[in-house]
Structure 1
Amino acid sequence: MNDINDCTHMGDAQLQLALRGLRRDIEPARDVWPGIAARLSPQFPHVPVQSSGASAKVTPIWPWALAASLLLALGVFVQPGPQAARPLAVADTSSNPSNTAELPVQAQVMGLHYQAALRELNTTGLPASWQPGLQALDHSAAQIQAALRKNPDSPWLMGQLRQIYLRKIALSRRALLA
Structure 2
Amino acid sequence: MSFPFISCSSDDDSTQEEPEVEETILSYQDVEFGQTTDADMGIFFSSSTGEVFNSEEAASNADVIELAYVGSESTFIYFTSPDDSSSTEVDIPNARSTKVMNAKTGVTGEMFDDIDEADDFDSIEVVNDNEAIGTLEFPVVVLFETQDGKKGAVKLKAINATRLLVDIKVVK
TM range (shorter): under 0.3
Give the TM-score of the pair, scaled to structure 2. Answer: 0.19
- The structure, 1 or 2, with the larger RCO (C-alpha pairs under 8 Å, 6+ apart) is 2
Structure 1 or 2: more strand by fraction: 2
Name the one with the larger helix percent. 1
- Normalising by structure 1, what TM-score? 0.19
